[in-house]
Chains A and B, each alone.
Chain A
Amino acid sequence: MNLFNLIADIEKADPEVSERFNFYSRRNLLKFGSNLLAAGIPTVVAGSLNQAFAQTTSAPSQAAIDTANFALTLEYLEDEFYRTGLATAGLVPASDLAVINQISKHETAHVNLLKTTLGAAAIAKPTFKFPAGTFSTYATFLATARALEDTGVQAYKGQVGTLVNDKLILQTALQIHSVEARHASEVRRMMGMKGWVSDPTQTTFTQAGVSLKTLPNVTGITDDNFRGAFDEPLTKQQVMAIAASFL
């Protein structure tokens, strides 16, 4: 069932419905829910639609819902990863606890936010399996964190095209995307790496048809910095191939 299309249909039939969605704040959810219940729509849907309609009058497309669920899957994975790490005695050194706690807090918040945004359309948390040794040493834990964060940045980036016409979910995705980049930078630097990515297999230096290395005023800039200046995306298929080792 496509929930958002259903509501869009209701909206067509009753042009005032989006205004009413606007009017009811989350605090009025119960009252709102009971109204919907009378219309035969489960209360649980109300939260998400209330939020969606508070910001836009057009319902998210199925593609946008799928993308948000894809993001939710990654956030479930990250959230479970950091919570497990923090619950493993002696794993995270005291010196790094403030950082790991902050990241973990954000991943939990992202899960809750996406679940609220999607409402009844949200997928349930998959059962994850972490590769053997993930939580055995701090070095392995950090290396996994880096992979998850850098992949997360690439995953959100790869989805903006599918969201260009779904402003509500695009806005949320953008504001999560840069937080994942902050996480990635910090984790990389805790591992003694640079905060930015330089993939040595990247040997072409062109963005949007512009050849970067022949631009004016770039003499002396290293290939590493040409690579690092732009973060590259991954497709959903590429991300799922990486995530497969956790599923």
Chain B
Amino acid sequence: MLLLHLIYYVMNKQQNETGLTMLPGQLEPVRVGRRLFLRYAGAFAAGGAILASCKEGEENPTTVMAPVDLGTGDVGILNYAFALEQLEAAFYTQVVAKPYTGMTDAEKAILTDIRDHEIIHREFFKAAIPAASRIGDLVPNFSSINFSDRASVLGTAKAFEDLGVAAYNGAGTLITDVNYLALAGKIVSVEARHAAAIRDLLNPKSADFAGDDVVAPTTGLDAATPPSAVLPTAQKYVRTPITATNLPK
């Protein structure tokens, strides 16, 4: 870890020397790969003024948003997890704040627990990832979700939880630090517990809690999906462009 810190210190210093670490319109610095940064620098010179006047969450498809790059190595994988946890936490925060029609007390209790778990995960990653290499706060895009409709909300929750499980399962072998691997293990099973509970709310006491659509019936294995396949799905719910070309493969 010491070595990593050193590397980030040097990278950070190099970026500071360009004088452009803080991008225009950003509430906090957004780290982008040096290559990417150079590619986008021109666009920002023109787009900065628009971005600065754009309120968070406002739909404006013509706005150029600062992309975030997840980075490299184990920290890249932690950023990947941080991105997914940001998405889940934002979703459940809205679900609990604005309950769908007919939400029962039991459902609200479950969704509140899940919201709290996801907020803890998000804040944990935010604190655990060295600030110099951590991605910024993502802006969600939940325009495809009808938050007043139970089926839409629980269907999205199921998709997010299954995606989260498959993402952690698909990233485990990309992690080299055994402590980070153990940490991912502590979180993925919580996501799997969520997934089963949400699936059971949709189709109670059926085989769906670990249905054949997600657990292969012949091997009994849950899905494992690499970042390259998870991110396009996640991106549909995030306005901030996410790039992951430097993640371990």
Interface residues of A (CB under 8 A from B): 95-96, 98-99, 101-103, 105-110, 113, 153, 156-157, 160-161, 164, 167, 170-172, 174-186, 189-190, 194-196, 207-210, 212, 215-218, 221-222, 224-226, 228-233
**A189 and B200 contacting across the interface, CB-CB below 8 Å:** yes
**B120 and A225 contacting across the interface, CB-CB below 8 Å:** yes
Cβ of B134 under 8 Å from chain A = no
**B224 and A113 contacting across the interface, CB-CB below 8 Å:** no
Q: List B residues 197-218 near A (Cβ within 8 Å).
A: 197, 200, 205-207, 209-211, 215-218
Cβ of B194 under 8 Å from chain A = yes
Which residues of chain A have C-beta atoms less than 8 A from B218's C-beta?
109
**B120 and A221 contacting across the interface, CB-CB below 8 Å:** yes
Main secondary structure of the interface of B (DSSP, over half): helix
Instruction: Please give the distance in Å from A114's CB to the nearest CB on chain B.
Output: 10
Given A196-B117, A212-B124, A207 contacting B186 (CB threshold 8 A): yes
Which residues of chain B have C-beta atoms less than 8 A from A171's C-beta?
172-173, 224
**A215 and B192 contacting across the interface, CB-CB below 8 Å:** no
User: For the side of the interface on B, what is the size category?
Assistant: 35 or more
Instruction: Please give the distance in Å from B200's CB to the nearest CB on chain A.
Output: 6
**B179 and A175 contacting across the interface, CB-CB below 8 Å:** no
Which of A170, A182, A210, A222 contacts B210, CB < 8 Å? A182
**A212 and B193 contacting across the interface, CB-CB below 8 Å:** no
Given A161-B178, A175-B224, A178-B165, A185 contacting B116 (CB threshold 8 A): no
**B210 and A103 contacting across the interface, CB-CB below 8 Å:** yes
Which of B169, B182, B194 contacts A157, CB < 8 Å? B182
Q: How far is the CA of A176 from the CA of B216 in the complex (A)?
A: 11
Given contacts A102-B211, A113-B219, A172-B221, 14 further A-B contacts (CB under 8 A): A95-B205, A96-B205, A98-B207, A170-B172, A170-B173, A171-B173, A174-B173, A175-B223, A178-B189, A178-B191, A195-B193, A215-B126, A218-B119, A231-B190
**A–B pairs, 13, beta carbons within 8 Å:** A99-B207, A113-B220, A164-B178, A180-B189, A182-B193, A186-B196, A189-B200, A195-B197, A212-B123, A225-B113, A226-B120, A228-B190, A233-B186
Instruction: Please give the distance in Å from A1's CB to the nearest CB on chain B.
Output: 28
**A99 and B209 contacting across the interface, CB-CB below 8 Å:** yes
Cβ of B158 under 8 Å from chain A = no
Q: List B residues 160-199 near A (Cβ within 8 Å).
A: 165, 168-169, 172-173, 175-176, 178-179, 181-183, 185-197
Which residues of chain B have C-beta atoms less than 8 A from A176's C-beta?
220-222
Which of A98, A182, A221 contacts B192, CB < 8 Å? A182
